[in-house]
Chains A and B, each alone.
Chain A
Amino acid sequence: MGRLVATATPDTDIGTTRRAEPSAMVRWATRNWLTILAIVAVIIGTYFAYQWDSRQTTAVAAGTIRQATPLILAGMCGLVGERSGIINIGIEGQMLLAAFCGFMVTSYSVDALTSGPALAAGIIAAMAVAAVAGLFLAWTAIRLKMDQIIAGTVINIFAIGATSFFFVQGRTMPKVPNWTVSSLEEIPLIGRLFFDHGPLTYAAFAVVALFHVTMFHTRWGLRTRAIGEHPGAADTVGVKVLRLRYVNLAIGGALAGLAGFSLLQSAGVFNRGMTNGKGFIALAVMIFGRWRPMGVLAAALIFGFFNAMQSQLQFKQAFDIPPQFFGMIPFVLTIAVLAIAGVRARPPAAVGQPFESE
């Protein structure tokens, strides 16, 4: 009773001192001062870098976004899964399956359709097959109560085997066209950065925005976070935990499918094992981003930036350092960030645990 009173009193206090209450915008700003600081720093840094050498800055910035694209999408796949309480180690396999099916569907349908619809069909196929793989993961985790790490590993092994097997060397697919916004793409730096990309790069940014809103501002998001944090409580208030997990894993799978197709957008061809560990890097991105869509975006951009810088420093032979060293930096950074900020980076509480309704 005393507690209730105690909480009630400040309320009335605030009521009387209304003048002092900061506006919503100010409150948002004080809560996210670090983010704002970082964004401002990046913008200012980019501006001065551009003044110093416009060509190199454009090259690195464009490279950053391109390198980040698959990581953003794959990281979002991991995020949707873990927020729902299921660890998805199989992103790598989902991406590979998706890239393979996307490639094959596009490649075989391009004769019947034109290249545009064929690519659309390929994207849909990629999303579908990765979603099915996600449902398989959900099924093993929910119905069979399998260890989720092993279920994900099964997907990875299967993906490598199956795609190597079915792949026919020598097929080609039409190129994924860049969507440019005419006149806007002429703006220096900005145009190249934001208005001259393949459709999947735009999709990656749209996905982040979409999930940022839905995860924190809709009923679906609240329920998803609930089943990841405390499925028992969610179940008690009538959320269908298992069904929602199936749905979310399928959604996550579709995102992994987009990630897989984004590799095709970049490479223009399928190749055995072409994911090269990006599905695992995506997990690091997700953790680095502290299980938040905007965090995933930022983390993926940092990974992308270091990869782009790696190439750029070699281009300019600025330092005589082995290229492998630069390739290593994002991972070292992840470890460092996790070690320092790891106390605050907390995974959803119920992640990895099977749930049975009582």
Chain B
Amino acid sequence: MKNRWMMLLVVLATFGLIAAACGDSSGDGDTAAGDETSDDDGSGAGDDGDGDDEAMAEDDGEADSHSDDGDDEAMAEDDDEAMAEDDDEAMAEDEGDEAMAEDDGGSEEGCAGDLVCVGLVTDVGKVDDKSFNQSAWEGVQLLEGELGAQVDFIETQDSTDYATNIQSYIDQDYDVIVTVGFSLGEATLEAAGANPDTYFIGVDQFQGAEVANVAGLIFPEDQAGFLAGALAGRLTETGVVGQVLGTDLVPPVVAFKEGFDAGVAFANPDADDVIATYHPGGLDVAFTDPDWGATTARQAIDNGADVIFGAGGLTGNGALQEVAKDGGDVFCIGVDTDQWETVPEAQPCLVTSAMKLITPGIVDIANEWNGGAAPAGNFVGDVGLADYHDFASVVDQETQDFIADLTPQVLSGEVSTGYTPGG
């Protein structure tokens, strides 16, 4: 009997140690991430440290109180309780995770009176996701310099937490709340209705009806996709072009695809075999499944594709990395940001990326809001193809000129992509 309690104590102690170790290492990790996203963010890094220490102390506290419980109840406890204890412990640690994640950005207290405060709520995922969460956060960080704003972010852990996370900034009297991603659209509109004095910027959120305190930062993804498709149509030799996509439940992904299809057809009528696949899962996995992305990209290559367009967060990145294994025999095209920088593993195949310029879009909206003329409804940001980088010498001059000529025509609408949003 006694032996079992000793064992239980050992387990608890171990969990405590793990929790403590977690605190330390995450401190390192987050500071590194902070450095990565912003070079001149000294105060932010300081805040990081604070947040972590606090969370770590909290974790230790949890662990301690649990071992106390263990001692007190030791006499009467039976197997089931021991089990519950273990379970609690794991839960406590999980909560610790979340608490720490939420503390990352700093700001323990609310927003002070005359200071402009900008809060960012990510879609499920991390602020250092090398994709649109990160681009949006970079935009918000720029506001720290441009508006002297106090900036902060919350990383959403689960799609059920959108409203809670938005509310936590409202409770802290934040002036501007940036919500990143199509999925947060509903929660954003709801919060905006209840809080007319707070200004919301919804990235990738198409506004069906104009709400005075909401700006939906949307992009003509079909145009970015069209340009990428036109390039792919010129590059392909087999006439087969592949697309590995996030889910069709998200309209921007569909826009990318439809635009890409049209672009290929426009640039190369002979490349009639555009093969595309959406991730079959739901919103919770469709953008975070690099394994599926890689597997599907390989299947597309087996189908004869020699240009692959990967559009869908980490799923798309998985596709790019798989294509990179072929060392340049097959080209790949990235999405959202210049993935030459964000996914260096893809460099062997990455010709360009179909970019949505989220960072300047957020800065533009925030500046207009600060100037007193807050844009409402849809705010159309810019798109374009990223630099060719090393592939500038691979893609022939004629193709480069073709794309350079085509770009303004597509962006102005002179060359139609044939895609209607919502249609």
Contact = CB atoms under 8 A, between A and B. Distances in A.
A158 B36 contact: no
B240 to A, nearest CB: 9
B18 A162 contact: yes
Interface in A166-212: 166-170, 172, 175, 192
A168 B94 contact: no
A105 B55 CA distance: 27
A109 interface: no
Given A274-B289, A327-B281, A140 B299 contact: no
Given A66-B295, A266-B295, A315-B275, A150 B280 contact: no
Interface string B274-290: 01111111100100111
A107 to B, nearest CB: 12
Nearest to A324: B280
16 contacts: A55-B304, A59-B300, A143-B4, A144-B4, A144-B82, A154-B90, A168-B28, A175-B325, A267-B294, A267-B321, A268-B345, A269-B345, A315-B275, A323-B248, A323-B277, A326-B280
B325 A315 contact: no
B39 to A, nearest CB: 15
Interface of A: 55-56, 58-60, 62-63, 66-67, 70, 140, 143-147, 150-151, 153-154, 157-158, 160-162, 164-170, 172, 175, 192, 263, 266-269, 271-274, 276-277, 307-308, 310-312, 314-316, 322-324, 326-328
A169 B290 CA distance: 14
Contacts of A151: 83, 86
A56 B290 contact: no
B25 A169 contact: no
A311 to B, nearest CB: 5
Contacts of B294: 266-268
Nearest to B127: A169
B25 A165 contact: yes
Contact of A166 (B22, B100, B291): B22
B86 A165 contact: no
Interface in B4-33: 4, 7, 18, 22, 25-26, 28-29, 32-33
B65 interface: no
A153 B79 CA distance: 17
Given A267-B291, A311-B277, A324-B282, A165 B79 contact: no
Contact of B7 (A143, A161, A164): A143
Given A169-B126, A271-B290, A274-B289, A63 B299 contact: yes
Contacts of B322: 268
B298 A66 contact: yes
B295 A161 contact: no
Nearest to A139: B7
Nearest to B297: A311
Given A56-B303, A161-B93, A273-B288, A323 B345 contact: no
B97 interface: yes
B339 interface: no
A314 B91 contact: no
B35 to A, nearest CB: 11
A59 B282 CA distance: 25
A168 B280 contact: no
A24 B33 CA distance: 65
A268 B318 contact: yes
Contact of A276 (B4, B22, B281): B281
Given A140-B86, A147-B83, A172-B344, A314 B276 contact: yes
Nearest to A60: B299
Given A143-B7, A276-B291, A169 B277 contact: no
A311 B281 contact: no
Interface in B76-113: 79-80, 82-83, 86-87, 90-91, 93-94, 96-97, 100
B302 interface: yes
B205 interface: no
Contact of A144 (B79, B276, B317): B79
Contact of B83 (A150, A166, A169, A271): A150
A268 B314 CA distance: 12
B296 interface: yes
B97 A165 contact: yes
A68 B193 CA distance: 48
A154 B299 contact: no
Given A153-B87, A161-B96, A162-B22, 8 more contacts: A63-B295, A145-B79, A151-B83, A274-B289, A307-B295, A315-B299, A323-B278, A328-B280
A67 B288 contact: no
Contacts of B279: 323
Complex A-B, nearest 9 residue pairs according to Cβ-Cβ distance, in ascending order: A327-B280, A59-B302, A315-B275, A267-B290, A146-B83, A267-B291, A314-B277, A323-B280, A268-B321
B288 A272 contact: yes
A301 to B, nearest CB: 14
Given A63-B295, A172-B344, A326-B280, A161 B87 contact: no
Interface in B251-298: 275-282, 285, 288-296, 298
B144 interface: no
Contacts of A315: 242, 275-277, 299-300, 303
A195 to B, nearest CB: 15
Contacts of A160: 94
Given A164-B97, A310-B280, A323-B278, A172 B345 contact: yes
Contact of A154 (B4, B86, B280): B86
B130 interface: yes
Contacts of A268: 290, 294, 318, 321-322, 325, 345
B291 A314 contact: no
A327 B280 CA distance: 5
B85 to A, nearest CB: 10
Contact of B278 (A66, A269, A308, A314): A314
A195 B289 CA distance: 26
Contact of B36 (A170, A175, A272, A316): A170
B128 interface: yes
A271 B304 contact: no
A144 B84 CA distance: 11
A307 B293 CA distance: 12
Nearest to A158: B90
B318 A267 contact: yes
Contacts of A314: 275-278
Nearest to A268: B321
